[in-house]
Amino acid sequence: MTAEPRVSIHPDSTVLMAAIAARLITKLVDVQDKHGEATVVLTGGTVGIGTLKAVADSPAAPAVDWSRVNLWWGDERFVAKDSPDRNTRQAREALLSGLPLDPARVHEPGSSDEFASADDAAADYAARLKAAAEAEHAADTSDSRPEEAGDLPRFDVLLLGVGPDAHVASLFPEQAGIRIQDRTVVGVENSPKPPPSRISLTLPAINSAQEIWMVVAGEDKAGAVGLALAGANPVQVPAAGPHGRSRTLWLIDENAASRVPQQLVRKDPAGA
């Protein structure tokens, strides 16, 4: 069962990113208290990377045991590993290189230096996700452990930006990727936004997350946000598709919120 979306509006993008960072730190601490470790799926883009910079600047960041945080990415550009276009490189520069992370817990999608095609890199990423799910299943000694491991590990928080065209991750309107239901990762070619080759989690993989946080700023995103929250078809409006298992949060600034139905807006203190 998925959660109905909840909208929290912030005055501007700077306040928004600081609030998301505070919320993320609190969430990671809470999840680690419960499970011992926490798993986050990161996103790129202005708000995604700006949030990581805000985490780096937060005096509360050391409250997280970063050595027990697992990191994945919702999508990646299929370019050279050291390309400035890579979400992973931008994340390292914004935050990750300054944290005491366990390298074995940082799962970067493959690059064009390592694989012949985006499809090959997607297959590798899917295999690594499944291996992590199997390891997680083997370590689970609880009474609620399922009989068999799934294809994905537990995602505690999954962050997603939204493009002006309403794309999320690298799932674009009307393209093949947003329609796929039987895979966890897809290679994307002919992306309408450069670079053309990408790797992306599919919508079913995204929707396996316990919490999905849609992080959006800017008037150019207002139309996409409004359509998504009005319940548009995800094939035409991919941003309408993500729904977390326990919570779906839209964390947006006032510019992005200009077309949000007022009945969906709730006052929601950071971390609540």
Domains of the chain, CATH where assigned: 15-263 (3.40.50.1360)
What is the rounded CA–CA span in Å between residue 7 and residue 4? 10
The three-state secondary structure class of 54 is helix
The three-state secondary structure class of 137 is helix
DSSP state of 257: T
Q: What is the pLDDT along the chain (272 residues), one digit of tens a residue?
A: 456 899 999 999 999 999 999 999 999 999 999 999 999 999 999 999 999 999 999 999 999 999 999 999 999 999 999 999 999 999 999 999 999 999 999 999 999 999 999 999 999 999 999 999 999 989 887 777 788 879 999 999 999 999 999 999 999 999 999 999 999 999 999 999 999 999 999 999 999 999 999 999 999 999 999 999 999 999 999 999 999 999 999 999 999 999 997 766 664 444 44
Q: pTM score, two decimals?
A: 0.94
Residue 141 has what pLDDT? 75
Partners of residue 252 on adjacent β-strands = 9, 216
Tokens 């999608």 found at: 109
Q: At what angle do helices 87-94 and 45-57 cross, to 10 degrees?
A: 20
Residue 267 has what pLDDT? 47
What is the rounded CA–CA span in Å between residue 264 and residue 269? 15
List phi, psi (to 5°) of 16.
Answer: -60, -50
